[in-house]
């Protein structure tokens, strides 16, 4: 396999028409560029603005190819700090294209990376560049509405790029899969597209990270992608709590934005003994706090008394970290909550078993719970010691041997 | 034709009220209802394996004859998800007119004492709403778990465990029919171990007969050894010995592979702690402490807490108490 080229580079559109979505922006951009070609530009620069991954840089690249222009590209904030780069860009912008030579397209990415507050000078450099340029200048920005960028905005054709729709993203992902020879179910593409929230670059990166080197992707691969992102965070949070130097310090994790405390409770449930072994006192204390947090959580949800949340949060941070006789700090590997993994992995099996139990329950006028507790142990003995009797029993219950084995394993 | 169920508890379940032995008083009153073709709402209470469900099914059979199934709805409160499901099923069922000369249909609601009191209140309204076209037979282990307003609307029948000789006669009859030899000591052992639960007694007999042609006392104990929850005993021992992680892993795989509810596991633990077979090397005070903990955790679970976290907290306490008890011993 060739060296790892980012797919966002490999599959950058070669023509403006191939840039996904944003038809209005594309039209405006083409009109502006054509005004340059005719020699009378409406504005010397175009400022393409909008959220990340919506095609701003891509359209400049595609235009360079389509209009046969040399692309001179720089990151806007680098132009400000590097004298060498500035000289190079200025020369490229100011030189007249000689007869027979190709024209140029100047691209300054991330213009809002220049802080207008801290450095007015940087902005002046860009404005100066636009004024002297004999070639079209393309600027990009996520947020162009800072008041201090106003004078810059006046020099530019403003072209807005919007978040991409899910369908546009899926279409691109699908064509990449085809070109890479990867078989990929629609659900996977749909999930990636939804997760990307209108950011095509993120979607392509996600696709590459689960799909590269494979010929088939399944929903299972996707789970790994999703889990990985969550795990990284949870590892840190769990370590922070379990190895806090003082109990109050553990409360620090509450400042994490969007802390999923219910998930955290599952993670602590899994990992307390790994960190606090061999101290039985510490383990028991930590579980005591955690189990009381769980009781509060239950009450909070059942009675919709959301003010109880603060006690839940106290107990899972300060409470857990207050365990007595904690062993000295050691580095341990944490693991994903097994309960969630087991429940997810055995879902279909459990459902199949429940169906069989239901059938037995119906025929014996018992509840499935009673079948499990009071009948199954005897059936197991019969199954092990007297296959003939078992065969008859199963036949009379209209249950196959295979289905029966589903409830044993 | 429907094939008979080869489980002996089903195969030898009485089909008509006449076949029921040894519940004379109950049976004779139920027969009165059949004769009058009029049945009040009924509440059958009593320990497991004393014939409550059987009596309900036999009553349905005698009332409606061969087509009793068309006029009887069997529900099990612990399998139906919530009162809404029960209500919907009852509503759908009660909408149609009963077949034959009996002017109402039967609804048998088993394990009714597994319903919360809120659900029972809702059930009471449902009973009133459909009282013209339906009669309810509620079945429960304890009358005290059924709310007063329901009890007062029902004729209550209390089922007692079969007397020893009647139970042994029944087992002897089954063995004879199945061509199985069973010794007197074996019958005695089954009687003692089944604690008045005839279903359990018959299950023990069938499992023993599956093991050996001749059922002796030894075979009975072999069966009982196999069905006793060794796993739970091992888990308690591991925890008390301070091996928390091992206990946790064992408990996890036990629960998930057997699909047991945590409350069931707690009940087994409770039983094991009181069993003479479990030698934990702890003093009586510590044992009482452990029992108290189980009660607390059970309470939290019925309040709706997360099962695994609560069980892990319990095991962690077991481990701690076990280690302290060793230190002082």
Pick the CATH number of A166-217 from 1.20.1630, 3.30.310, 1.10.3470, 1.10.8: 1.10.8
Cβ distance A368 to B10 less than 8 Å, yes or no, reads: no
| C-beta atoms of A280 and B316 within 8 A | yes
Given this model, what pLDDT does residue B251 score? Answer: 92
Section B291-319 average pLDDT = 92
Do residue B6 and residue A396 have CB atoms under 8 angstroms apart?
A: yes
Q: What's the pLDDT score for residue A76?
A: 67
Superfamily of domain B8-158: P-loop containing nucleotide triphosphate hydrolases (3.40.50.300)
| C-alpha distances out from residue A114 to A44, A123, A158, Å | 20, 7, 18
Mean pLDDT, residues B114-134 taken together = 86
Whether the CB of A305 is below 8 Å from some CB of chain B: the reply is no
Give the nearest partner residue to B313 out of A281, A290, A363, using CB atoms. Answer: A290
Judging contacts by C-beta atoms under 8 Å, the chain A residues touching residue B248 are 273
Interatomic CA distance for residues A300 and A305, integer angstroms = 5
**Stronger pLDDT, B127 or A285, i.e. the higher one:** A285
pLDDT value of residue A367: 92
Tell the CATH topology of B164-227: Helicase, Ruva Protein; domain 3 (1.10.8)
Look at A396 and B4 and tell me if their CB atoms are within 8 Å.
Answer: yes
Which residue of A290, A363, A372 is in closest CB contact with B10? Answer: A363
Q: How many CB pairs under 8 A join A and B?
A: 153
Q: Which of B245, B232, B183, B241 is nearest to B208 (CA)?
A: B183
**Quick check: A281 and B320 CB within 8 A?**
yes
pLDDT value, residue B94: 82
Confidence at residue A2, expressed as pLDDT on a 0 to 100 scale: 45
Summarised one tens digit per residue, pLDDT across range B233-287 is 899 999 999 999 999 999 988 887 777 788 888 998 998 888 876 677 788 888 8
CATH of range A7-160; options 3.40.50.300, 1.10.940.10, 1.10.260.40, 3.30.420.40 = 3.40.50.300
ipTM above 0.95, yes or no: no
* SS3 state at B73: strand
For chain B, the structural domain boundaries read: 8-158, 164-227, 230-328
Query: What does CATH list as the number for B230-328?
Result: 1.20.272.10
Q: How far is B117 from chain A (nearest CA, A)?
A: 16
Q: What is the pLDDT of residues A70-112, one digit of tens each?
A: 888 877 666 666 666 677 778 777 777 655 567 888 888 887 7
Q: For residue B53, which phi and psi values (nearest 5 degrees)?
A: -65, -40
Helices (H) and strands (E) in chain B, counts: 15, 7
Q: Give me the mean pLDDT over the A153-172 stretch.
A: 90
Report whether pLDDT(A385) > 70: yes
Inspect the interface and report whether the beta carbons of A298 and B306 lie closer than 8 Å. Answer: yes
Residues of B in contact with A369 (CB under 8 A): 78-79, 261, 264
CA atoms within 13 A on the CB side of A343: 7
Residues of chain B with pLDDT > 70, as a percent, come to 97
Q: Which residue of A has its CA nearest to B253?
A: A342
Residue A265 tokens, joined: 């409770």
DSSP state of A147: G
- pLDDT tops 90 at residue B182: yes
Mean pLDDT of A4-22: 86
pLDDT, one tens digit per residue, over B10-60 is: 999 999 999 998 888 999 999 999 999 999 999 999 999 999 999 999 999
Say yes or no: A347 contacts chain B, CB-CB below 8 A: no
The number of C-alpha atoms within 13 Å of A288 and in the hemisphere containing its C-beta is: 16
Hey, are the CB atoms on A372 and B316 less than 8 Å from each other? no
- Cross-chain residue pair B79–A409, CB shorter than 8 Å: no
The span from the CA of A230 to the CA of A238, in Å, is 12
Q: From chain B, pick out residues whose CB is under 8 angstroms from the CB of A404.
A: none
pLDDT digits (tens, 9 = 90+) for B153-163: 899 999 999 89
pLDDT classification of A348: cutoffs 50, 70, 90 = confident
| Mean pLDDT within A53-76 | 86
Chain A: residue nearest B316 by CA? A284
pLDDT (tens digit, 9 = 90+) per residue, A235-283?
888 988 999 888 888 888 887 766 788 889 999 999 999 999 999 999 9
The span from the CA of A134 to the CA of B295, in Å, is: 85
**According to the model, what pLDDT value does residue A228 have?**
42
């Amino acid at each position: 396999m060739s060296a790892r080229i980012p797919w966002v580079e490999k599959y950058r559109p070669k023509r403006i028409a191939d840039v996904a979505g944003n038809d209005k922006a594309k039209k405006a951009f083409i009109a502006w560029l054509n005004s340059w070609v005719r020699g009378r530009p409406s504005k010397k620069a175009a400022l393409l603005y909008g959220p990340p991954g919506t095609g701003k840089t891509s359209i400049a690249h595609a235009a360079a190819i389509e209009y046969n222009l040399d692309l001179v590209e720089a990151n806007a904030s680098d132009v400000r700090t590097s004298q060498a780069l500035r000289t190079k860009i200025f020369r490229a912008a100011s030189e007249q294209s000689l007869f027979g030579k190709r024209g140029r397209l100047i691209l300054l990415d991330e213009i809002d990376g220049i802080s207008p507050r801290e450095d007015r000078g940087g902005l002046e450099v860009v404005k100066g560049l636009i004024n002297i340029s004999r070639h079209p200048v393309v600027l990009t920005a996520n947020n162009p509405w800072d008041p201090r960028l106003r004078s810059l905005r006046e020099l530019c054709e403003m072209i807005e790029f919007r978040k991409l729709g899910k369908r546009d993203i899926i279409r691109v992902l699908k064509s990449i899969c085809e070109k890479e020879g990867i078989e990929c179910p629609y659900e996977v593409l749909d999930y990636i597209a939804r997760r990307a929230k209108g950011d095509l670059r993120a979607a392509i990166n996600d696709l590459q990270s689960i799909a590269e080197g494979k010929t088939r992707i399944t929903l299972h691969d996707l789970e790994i992608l999703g889990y990985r992102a969550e795990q990284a965070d949870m590892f840190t949070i769990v370590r922070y709590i379990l190895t806090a130097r003082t109990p109050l310090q553990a409360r620090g994790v509450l400042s994490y934005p969007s802390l999923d405390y219910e998930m955290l409770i599952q993670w602590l449930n899994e990992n307390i003994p790994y960190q606090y072994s061999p101290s039985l006192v510490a383990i028991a204390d930590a579980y005591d706090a955690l189990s009381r947090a769980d009781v509060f959580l239950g009450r909070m949800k059942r009675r919709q008394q959301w003010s109880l949340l603060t006690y839940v949060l106290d107990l899972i941070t300060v409470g857990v970290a207050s365990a007595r006789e904690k062993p000295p700090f050691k580095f341990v590997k944490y693991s994903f909550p097994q309960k969630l993994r087991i429940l997810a992995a055995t879902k279909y099996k459990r459902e199949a078993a429940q169906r069989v139990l239901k059938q037995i329950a119906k025929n014996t006028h018992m509840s499935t719970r009673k079948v499990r507790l009071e009948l199954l142990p005897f059936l197991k003995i019969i199954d092990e010691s007297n296959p003939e009797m078992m065969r008859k029993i199963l036949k009379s219950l209209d249950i196959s041997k295979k289905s029966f084995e589903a409830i044993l394993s | 034709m429907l094939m008979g169920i080869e489980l002996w508890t089903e195969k030898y379940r009485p089909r008509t009220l006449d076949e029921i032995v040894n519940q004379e008083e109950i049976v004779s009153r139920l027969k009165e209802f059949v004769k009058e073709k009029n049945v009040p709402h009924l509440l059958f209470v009593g320990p497991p394996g004393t014939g409550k469900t059987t009596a309900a099914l036999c009553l349905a059979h005698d009332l409606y004859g061969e087509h009793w199934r068309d006029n009887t709805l069997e529900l099990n409160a612990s399998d139906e998800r919530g009162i809404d499901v029960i209500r919907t099923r009852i509503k759908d069922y009660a909408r149609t007119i009963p077949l034959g000369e009996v002017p109402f249909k039967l609804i048998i609601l088993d394990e009714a004492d597994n319903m919360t009191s809120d659900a029972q209140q809702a059930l009471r309204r449902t009973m009133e709403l459909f009282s013209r076209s339906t009669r309810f037979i509620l079945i429960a282990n304890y009358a005290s778990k059924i709310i007063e307003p329901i009890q007062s609307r029902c004729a209550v029948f209390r089922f007692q465990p079969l007397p020893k000789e009647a139970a042994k006669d029944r087992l002897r009859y089954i063995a004879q029919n199945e061509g199985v030899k069973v010794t007197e000591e074996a019958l005695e052992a089954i009687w003692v171990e089944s604690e008045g639960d005839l279903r359990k007694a018959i299950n023990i007999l069938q499992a023993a007969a599956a093991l050996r042609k001749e059922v002796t006392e030894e075979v009975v104990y072999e069966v009982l050894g196999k069905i006793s929850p060794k796993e739970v005993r091992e888990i308690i021992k591991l925890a008390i010995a301070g091996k928390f992680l091992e206990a946790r892993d064992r408990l996890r795989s036990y629960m998930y592979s057997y699909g047991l509810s945590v409350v069931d596991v707690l009940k087994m633990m409770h039983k094991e702690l009181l069993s003479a077979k479990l030698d934990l090397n702890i003093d009586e005070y510590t044992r009482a402490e452990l029992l108290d903990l189980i009660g607390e955790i059970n309470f939290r679970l019925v309040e709706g807490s997360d099962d695994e976290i609560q069980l892990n907290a319990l095991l962690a306490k077991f481990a701690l108490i076990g280690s302290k008890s060793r230190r002082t011993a």
